[in-house]
Each structure stands twice: as C-alpha cells, then as structure tokens.
Structure 1
Amino acid sequence: MRFAHRTLRAIGGAAMVGALVLGTASAASADATRNSQWQNKAFDIDAIHKVATGKGVTVAVLDDGVDGTQADLKGNVLDGTRCKDGQPANRETLDDHGTGMASLIAAHGHGAGNSQGLLGLAPDAKILPVDIYSTEGGAVDEEKEAACNWSKAIHYAVDQGADVINISVSQNYSGQGDKEAIAYALAHNVVVVQSSGNAGVEERDGLGSVPGVTQVGGSTQSGTVWEESNSSKDLLFTAPGKDITVATANGDYDDAAGNSHQGDYLTTDGTSMSAAITSGTFALLKQKYPDYTPGQLVNRIIKSTYIAKGVDKAKLPDATHGYGDLSPLKALTADIPKGGENGPWDLSALPKTADKGKPADNSSDNASSSSEDGGSNTLLYVGIGIGALVVIAVIIVIIVVSRNKNNRGGPGGPGALGTMPPPTYQQGGYPPQQQPGPYGQQQPPQWGPPRQ
C-alpha cells in the first residue's frame, strides 16, 4: 500500500475510506530520523522507557504486510499471515503502509547502541502482521480489494495471542459480524485501536462506532486537532498525526500526487499514525498493567490526556477532541483509579461471543444437557451402590457360615472376626493420592464476555 490518500474498495461488503495519508510526503535520512520524531520528544520517550518498553506484548497490525527485514524492525516482526493465501506477511517488499505503522509501534533503531533510525513507543513489543489485501503494489485506490473481512482478521489476531490490534484504516459501516469480532477481542482482554479517518468529516457508523473500539483522531505538535482528522461522537481522544516520520518497506513510495520517491523513511500526515502511536502506548500499558481490561486501560488514557491551550476542558468529551490528546507517560505513571471493567463503554449492545477455541454458549441447551446427564449419573451411582452392598452382604454371610461350621463344638476357638488379617494396601499408602484436576492451578480469566 502506498502512502497516498485514496478511497478503498469494500472489505467484507463494507466500504472503507482512507485513514492513510494526506498531503505530500518528504524523505528523511537515517541520520536525521531520530531527531525528526517530535512526538517522542513531546512524550519524553526516555522517561517512558524507564517505566515500560512493551516487553512481552504482541501488537497485531491489520493492514498490508510488514517488512521484517527493515533495519529498525529486525527481530520484532512475527510471521503473521496474508489473508489471500495464508503465507507469512513479514516479508513485504511492494507496500509500505503496514511497515510504517509497525515502525511507530515497535521500531528499535539500528547502528551503535540503536541510536539511529526510528524509535517506536514500544521497542520491545512484537508485531503480528495480518495482510488483509488481495493485491500488492500500487497506490491505494478503488482497485485495492480486501481478501478477508474484519471479523476474520480480528479473530485470527486474537487466536494468535495478540494483546493489541492496530487498524490504521477507517471503515464507514460496521455489521453484526464486526460487532461479534470486537466482543470476541474484549472477551480475551485484547485492545482494538482504529484511526478515525482523514477526510475532515463526521464519522458515524464505522468500525470505530462499535463499543469497545478505541477510535483515535489526529493532532498536531501543539496538541490541537489536525484539520483533516474525522470527528465522531465515539472518538475517545487524539494522538500525533501531523508530520510523522515512518519507515518504508523498500525505499520506494508514492506521495499523494502520485509522484514516486526513494528513501528508507518518509514524513507524512494521517490518523493512521495516530492509531499506531496509540497502539504503541497500549503495549506499554499492557506490560505495566497486565491484569487490566481494555476498558480500564482506556480509562487510564482518558484520565491523563493533555488539554491544548484554548480547549474548554469542561466541554469534553466532544466529537472533535474526545477527552483530549494522548499523554503516554502520565497514563503510565499517574495515580488513576482502576475503574470498572468496561471503562467508558456501554457494552450491553454487543453480541455474546464464544470463548477461545470453544463453541458459542447456548445456555438452554447446556442446562438441559446438564440436567439429563446429572439425572443419568445419579441413577447409575445409586445402582452401583446397591449392587456393592448386596455383594458385601453375601460375602459376610458366607464367611460367617463357614467359620461357624469350622468352630462348631470346639471350645476356645477364635471369634468370628478374630483371625481376619489386616487389610493389605497397595504401595504408596491408602487412600491413593488424588490426581490433579484438568484445570490445574489456572486462574480465572480477568475479563469475561460482555454483560448483557
């Protein structure tokens, strides 16, 4: 996918509009790349990395593929999958967008002490690339078709162990399957982040409108809203999206005007970057607060936002700013109550979802089956018990009768039970040690399915 602002063709029957890039991108040399990351300076990235680096956290990037050989990402990109053929998605050479997003999340730099190149918010996190497109190369336009829908891609990411899912593509319609997929992610404690879009319009019914999705708008260096960022009543906050430097897959990219450029990095605009920077922040939070639900992690962010000068805090949240602008260090370190499991969301409208690897719950069927099984088992146990008592009684009678015959008329003989030897037990003592149950010492899940 090239860094150009285009309208995308339908994915799973739902049209997507670019949350990609708007404006002309300019090349940045490797030597100047680190200095060009103004957001890291604003965030105080050094202080952040003393608290967390995303270690042990996996972020799925639902986009085009990722170039895992890119110097700043090498070693941090898992195989992933391409929806179109099931092949690994970590060797992208024709499209740049997924690589750019991955670099903002988990780039670790290169050179002496990794002092050159890009530094992501979570340099120790792993990237799980999920290439959703059926074609490669060329600008993102009407011919760019998807090979899988959001539901399939989200389920795959969750089942592969993703902790955070980054979707730097906006979608202007969400169906029941999308809602079930979000419920599935939440039920497995997975954060889903989506960009609001770059058309400067109000977004009403896209994936970001589904409760449980963290929809993010774009901001500038001053913390004010980027003028092309879409607004939405479901927008939670904004994050840097203007003049952001990202890595490219093969050093050859197209700008918004269709002009070809070469370079290992480019500086450009878009809420795509806002979402990726947010996903990197969630990776940090996941490391520090592993038992928090997605709603509780979001709560930390919205309770710690930066409010730009001129913004009336009393009127927030609103459709343009959400709760304010992302402030990762404060979100990591501020004294903020954990809050309720659902955070700012009302999840009652989400459908029920199956647990990982299990069929969907059907309470009535399960209850009926349980009742029938329980009744059958009870009758079986009663029958066995009665049979055992009868056998024991017969044995006792036989023993008593036999001994009476042997001792009849003989004084001083042993009593009826006097000479019975002590019972012999199997090695290891009696009773045998109880075997551990099938669940061992597993802890109950910290996040259950959405409450209805």
Structure 2
Amino acid sequence: MGENNTFDRRMFLRLTGLAGAAGLTGMASATPGRSPGPKEGELLVGVTGTKDVKAAIDLPAQAKMVHVNETLGYAAIEFPGKGNETARQNFADAMAKKTDVKYVEENATFESLAVPNDPRFGDQYADQMVNAPTAWDTTFGDSGVTVAVVDQGVKYDHPDLDGNMAADAGYDFVDSDSDPYPDSMADEYHGTHVAGIAAAETNNGEGVSGIGNSSIISGRALSEAGSGSTADIADAIQWAADQGADVINLSLGGGGYTNTMKNAVGYATNNGSLVVAAAGNDGQGSVSYPAAYSECLAVSALDPDESLASYSNYGSDIELAAPGTNVLSTWTDDGYNSISGTSMATPVVAGVAGLTLAAHDLTNSELRSHLKATAVDVGLPADQQGSGRVDAGNAVTTTPGSGGGGGDDGGDGGSGDSTSASASGSLAGYYDSQCYNYGFSYSAPSQVVVELDGPSSADFDLYVSDGTGTCPSTSSYDYRSWTADSQETITIDNPDTSTDLTILVDSYSGGGSYTVTITEYQ
C-alpha cells in the first residue's frame, strides 16, 4: 500500500450522460421453464468484471446455471431436487475461496413494501401536503424525464396512466418477456398504484393527479403474489438504468443485505439514476434493504397530520419523509383506491424528483441534495424525517445551490451549495492499493459523494472510513462499493468532519489509471 495522499482542491463541472440503448445489454434471459417470483434455494455467485461469468464458475454435476447477468457480474445457480444440501454448501465454500469470485449468497426474496382539473384532486391530500400545486404554477412536468417503477406490473392502459407511459412500456423480469402488464388484476395492483402516485396524468381532466407528468417505464420484478427474487429485482434496476431512467422507484424490501442488490443500485447510481427506496413497514428503528444502502434515498411514511406513521420504519438512514397513509391512486380496475405504506410515500418522493428535473438540470447527486435542502421540518426527530418532508413547491421554485428553499420551516438538508476535489493515480495489479486523506471544506456538510472512475479492463474497488482518521482496508471500513467493474460511488449523509475522510482504492483484478472525485454538499 502506498503512502497517504492529500487532495489538491479544484472546482469542476461533471457532465453525466445516461445510457439510452434499448434491450437487455449484458443480461441473459432466464432458462425457459424457470418458475416466476421468488427463487428460494438458488445461490448467486458474483464474479470480478475482468472474468467471464460462466468461465469463472466451476459447476458440479448436481447444479444448473439458470441465469447470468454479465453487466452486474453474477450468475444464479440451482441445485434441483432434494438431498443436495451438502453439495450446495460444498459448492458455496469452494466458490468463496476462488480469487475470481467476489461473493456467494442466497437469492433472497423481497416484497412489495396550479390546481389541476383532475376531478378527484380534492381527495388527494398527499399532493397538497407536499405543495405540488405551487410547483404546478411553474411546471406540470416533462415527458423527457423518466421514472422507472421496479415493482409489480403496471396496467399501462389505465385511462389515467396511458398518456404518461413511455413508448416502450417496459420489461417483465418475472416471466422473462417484453410485456410488464399485471398477470392478475385482482391481486397485482401494487405497481399500478405506485406508478399513479408518481406520474398519473396531471391536469388531464380525468381521475387523480400524479405528482408530475414524467414518463413511466415498468420493470416488472414482483409477481402477482407481491414478492420477487434478488436476481429479478437487480436485473430490473440495471435495465432501468440502461434505459436512461432519471429516477428509479423501489417500493419493496425485506430481503436483507445482498451484494447483488447493492451492486445493482450502485450501477444505477453510477449511470446517473436517483434510486428512491421505501424504508419498510415493520415500525422498527432500522431501515430495510434496499433503502439502507448508501446509494438509495430512504423514505419514511407520514400520516395525514404529518406524524410518523405507526407502520413506518425509521433510523439514521432516513433522508426524507412523505405522506404514505391512505394515499389515493390508480387501480387495476381502471378506477382508484387508497392504500397505505412506505411503498406509497416513496413514489411521492420519486414524483417530486421527476417534477424537479422538469425545472432544473441536475445530476442525481445534485438532485438528491436539492430535495433534502428544500425539505420542510415537520417537527419530527431526524431519524424519523431525515432532512424533512419532501416539498415539491420548494424544490421546483428554489434555485439549486442558492441556499433557499425551506425558509423557517426548512429541514437539515443544507443550502444545496457544493464543492469538489479530485485526485488521480494508478494501480499495477491485484496486489496494489492506494490510500487518500480528504480534509472537509464545509464545517457541517449534509452529504459527501465519493466517486471512482477506473479502467474498463480492470476491477477496482472503493472503501471509505468516516470519523476514524485511519485508512480503511478491504476487511475494515465504514463504506464499500465493489461492483464488477471500476466505476464505484459511495454516498455518506452527515459525515463526521472531526477528522479527515480516508479513502482506499484497491485493485481486485488488473491495473491502470483512475480518478477519485469527492463532492461535498452543504
């Protein structure tokens, strides 16, 4: 390991481009006949990006490779039938020892957690609570902004959704086909309800108002039973990012920490998407995954009186709160219905994010900071509301970085100002790493984003320690990003500024030049 380095500070403008290629680049279709929904018993094997996934995995006779995603660098392995538990464990142990394999884990299961002329707007307290009418005086939204709903299927021909669905409505990762339409209208309503909260047609003289007129794409990753596998959800997140989604809504959770899911939200973040996720409905003091990943903006749910909903999870990972109880939205019978959950609060934030992008040209990091800077303090502790209740009026009408927005009611999201620094270096091979110290510019930044841009021919990983003053290692760190390539991002809210931030760039495989960029948001 080389000696510690200090950043030379410089201001810069980073231009972020979104991938817009159609199709499922880097993703193999599931094996025909593979059952939809949860994939209990399957193992996910993550491989370094410098190796072909299939070639890196030694498959025993009892096992089948049922799915491969080259972009995220993993394969799903099935041991069919009974009595293969020992062979399955032996395989997992053997793979974990291989240098080309980064992890082996279960394929865990996640579950679905201006006044417009729309006639039922008066029944929609959520839009009014977040001051959407103030934002609508400026814009009703922009079809050039895309919100991806990774969820159950969306009834894209609903009369209050069809005008805001993208031309290519989406993809079904549960059944492996190009039609994300729900399989059961009676049971599969969650995705349609979520989509309507974020982007039902606004000011169209019909039904309800979405937060804004963004374009919707549907990644069907949860079955009609309301559950889905890590692999299906991760593939849908990658797909949404590849379609150029500005915002990805994850109203789901419950599967715990998985490397595959973290790599997926990291991939989306690195490709310019803001990933918004539900805190969970267990009423507990910790946030569920995927919302707990640093790449995701975690959302708690409020009752109509702006108190924390009894079912909402809370904790230090919460960044914003939004109305989630009895939220009226689109339903699969072409009508409307009210249901509750952090699943409902999350698309409120996603919708506000989309509406904000109709008014301001922001990167995903800048958007995240701006939403927090313009949030409204509703009198709850920070572990329940984060920076505050999201506010569409403030977000749209406040110039990013101006320091305004919340006024006397503003939360702790900061002013929105930012400063950046970068450093460049090179690593020779898998045995090499480099540590950096970063001294903060702001006394109390609301957020710091660390980005690694490394060579495509190598697999570099990023580690960060916050508040320790000592360099992290690959086994001792506060934050880690280790996707299958060398594009890594770590986001830290309210970092500890008592000591320098310490950063390790490590080569898992290969060598080459890289740049580390740090952006502080006040």
Q: TM-score, normalised on structure 1?
A: 0.64
Partners in 2 of 1:304 and 1:250 — Cα distance?
A: 36
Distance in 1 (CA, whole Å) between partners of 2:250 and 2:295 is 14
1:228 aligns with 2:311: yes
Q: Which has the higher strand share?
A: 2
Retained in 1: the 8 A contact 2:151–2:220? yes
Residue 351 (structure 1) aligned with residue 445 (structure 2): no
RMSD in angstroms over aligned alpha carbons?
A: 3.2
Gap change, CA 1:44 and 1:204, over 3 Å in 2: closer
Alignment match of 1:117 (pick from 207, 215, 222): 207
Judged with a 3 Å threshold, the aligned counterparts in structure 2 of structure 1 residues 293 and 145 are, in CA distance, closer, same or farther, namely closer
1:74 maps to which residue? 162
Q: Which amino acid aligns with 1:51?
A: T
What's the CA shift string for 1:161-189, capped at 9, x where partnerless? 11110010123412222222222112111
Q: Is the 8 A contact 2:149 2:216 kept in 1?
A: yes
Shift of 1:449: 8.1
Corresponding residue number in structure 2 for 1:16: 110
Deviates more, 1:154-163 or 1:292-301: 292-301
User: 2-side partners of 1:186 and 1:226: how far apart?
Assistant: 29
Cα deviation digits, residues 2-29 of structure 1 (max 9, x gap): xxxxxx886962343552xxxxxxxxxx
Does residue 206 (structure 1) correspond to residue 270 (structure 2)? The answer is no
The one-letter code matched in structure 2 to 1:333 is T
Equivalent residue number for residue 367 of structure 2:
297
Overall identity of the aligned pairs, in % = 23
**Paired position in structure 2 for 1:322:** 386
Cα drift, residue 58 of structure 1: 0.7
Q: Which moved more, 1:42-51 or 1:265-274?
A: 42-51
CA contact (8 A) 1:219 1:241 kept: yes
Aligned equivalents of 2:183 and 2:209: distance in 1? 21
- 1:84 paired with 2:174, answer yes
Aligned to 2:216: 127
Distance 1:354 1:54 in 2: 35
Shift of 1:340: 4.9
Of Structure 1 and Structure 2, the greater helix share is in 1
Cα deviation, residue 84, structure 1: 3.0
Matched residue, 1:404: none
Q: 1:207 to 1:31 in 2, by over 3 A?
A: closer
Greater C-alpha Rg: 1
Matches within 5 A, 1:5-44: 13-16=107-110, 18-19=112-113, 33-44=120-131
Q: Which amino acid aligns with 2:172?
A: R
Is 1:332 aligned to residue 396 of structure 2?
yes
Report SS of the residue matched to 1:216.
strand
Aligned-partner residue type, residue 149 of structure 2: V
Structure 1 pair 158–231 and aligned structure 2 pair: CA distance change class (3 A):
same
C-alpha deviation, 1:63, in angstroms: 0.4
Matching of residue 266 in structure 1 with residue 337 in structure 2: yes
- Higher mean Cα deviation, 274-283 or 220-229? 220-229
Please state how far the C-alpha of 1:64 moved relative to its aligned partner. 0.8
Distance in 2 (CA, whole Å) between partners of 1:449 and 1:127 is: 34
Deviation, structure 1 residue 115 = 2.2
Contiguous gaps of at least 5 residues in structure 1: 1-7, 20-29, 252-263, 369-447
Tell me which amino acid in the other structure corresponds to 2:151.
D
SS at match of 2:120: helix
One-letter amino acid of the counterpart of residue 350, structure 1: S
Deviations, residues 211-230 of structure 1 (Å, cap 9, x unaligned): 12001000122222111111
1:75 is paired with a residue whose SS is helix
Q: Unpaired segments of 5 or more residues in structure 2?
A: 1-37, 43-105, 404-415, 421-444, 451-463, 465-479, 488-505
Deviation at 1:43, TM superposition (A): 3.2
Would you say the 8 A contact 2:172–2:179 is kept in 1? yes
SS state of the match for residue 284, structure 1? helix
Which residue pairs with 1:104 in the alignment? Answer: 197
Task: Give CA deviations for 1:263-305 in whole Å, capped at 9, x if unaligned.
Answer: x111121111100111001112222232x23222122122222
CA contact (8 A) 2:110 2:230 kept: no
Q: Provide Cα deviations, 1:87-118, integer angstroms capped at 9, x if missing partner.
A: 23443362111111111111115xxx622301
The 1:93–1:173 alpha-carbon spacing in structure 2 relative to 1, beyond 3 Å, is closer
Kept in 1, the 8 Å contact 2:300–2:312? The answer is: yes
1:126, distance to aligned residue in structure 2 (A): 0.9
